[in-house]
């Protein structure tokens, strides 16, 4: 989900104009002292709980998060984007994925921030008791494609399609197309 969405303007010409996205979910926490180590971990846990409790989330899982901080030294900032292997709504698993990223922070922080960059499916999805192996493999492939596109953009999972195999020109023999699992 980008920072802007398009909506039909109420004007007579019917032109599209950008509007701010209403699903911006972010939390921040000012730290009383220059925090590092266990203090940052506790602050991160609090921010995760706050983000998961926000009503704007509407029960959806989180696919991609941005962890950032305002550093004590010279007022600098630090930012780390984290894309989860699978969409999460479990605070414990989110902590496991995010806490090691705090070690990458170059200096103590005076403010810690957590923002949702991309949502996943609703958290109430349940797996079948007995899954068909072909269907399970297909579902894992679709999930891997979603993860790849969340991390690297919409053109991340492509496949080669043969268009004109007998062409004299190599560039006319095949094209790249989005992979649909």
pTM for the structure as a whole: 0.61
Same domain, 74 and 153: no
Say yes or no: 115 and 162 in one domain: no
Please give the C-alpha separations between residue 105 and each of 73, 84, 178, in angstroms, as whole numbers.
Answer: 12, 19, 36
* Residues 93 and 74 sit within 8 Å (Cβ to Cβ): no
95-152: pLDDT as tens digits: 999 999 988 888 888 889 999 998 888 876 555 666 678 888 888 888 888 888 888 8
Place 4 in a pLDDT band, splitting at 50, 70 and 90: very low
Q: What's the confidence (pLDDT) of residue 52?
A: 92
Tell me the residue range of the domain where 39 lies: 22-122
**Each residue's pLDDT tens digit, 37-62:** 788 888 899 999 999 999 888 888 99
Position 10 in a domain: no
In a domain, 152, yes or no: yes
Q: Is residue 83 part of a domain?
A: yes
What is the pLDDT, as a whole number, of residue 125? 55
Residues 88 and 60 in one domain: yes
Q: Note whether residue 79 is domain-resident.
A: yes
Count of structural domains within the chain: 2
CA 118 – CA 98 distance, rounded (Å): 16
- Tell me what percent of the residues of the chain surpass a pLDDT of 70: 81
For residue 114, give the nearest of 40, 35, 36 by alpha carbon.
Answer: 40
Task: Please check whether residue 82 lies inside any domain of the structure.
Answer: yes
- Do 168 and 144 reside in the same domain of the chain? yes
């Amino acid at each position: 989900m980008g920072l802007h969405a398009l909506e039909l303007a109420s004007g007579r010409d019917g032109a599209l104009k950008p509007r701010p996205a209403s699903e911006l979910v972010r939390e921040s926490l000012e730290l009383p002292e220059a925090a590092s180590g266990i203090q940052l971990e506790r602050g991160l846990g609090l921010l995760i709980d706050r983000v998961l409790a926000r009503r704007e989330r509407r029960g959806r899982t989180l696919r991609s998060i941005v962890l950032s901080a305002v550093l004590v030294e010279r007022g600098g900032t630090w930012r780390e984007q984290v894309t989860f292997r699978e969409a999460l709504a479990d605070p414990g698993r989110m902590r496991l994925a995010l806490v090691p990223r705090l070690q990458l922070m170059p200096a103590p922080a005076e403010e810690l921030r957590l923002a949702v960059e991309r949502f996943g499916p609703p958290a109430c999805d349940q797996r079948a008791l007995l899954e068909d192996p072909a269907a399970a493999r297909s579902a894992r492939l679709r999930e891997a494609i979603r993860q790849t596109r969340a991390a690297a953009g919409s053109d991340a999972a492509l496949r080669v399609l043969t268009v004109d195999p007998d062409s004299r020109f190599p560039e006319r023999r095949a094209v790249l197309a989005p992979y649909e699992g």
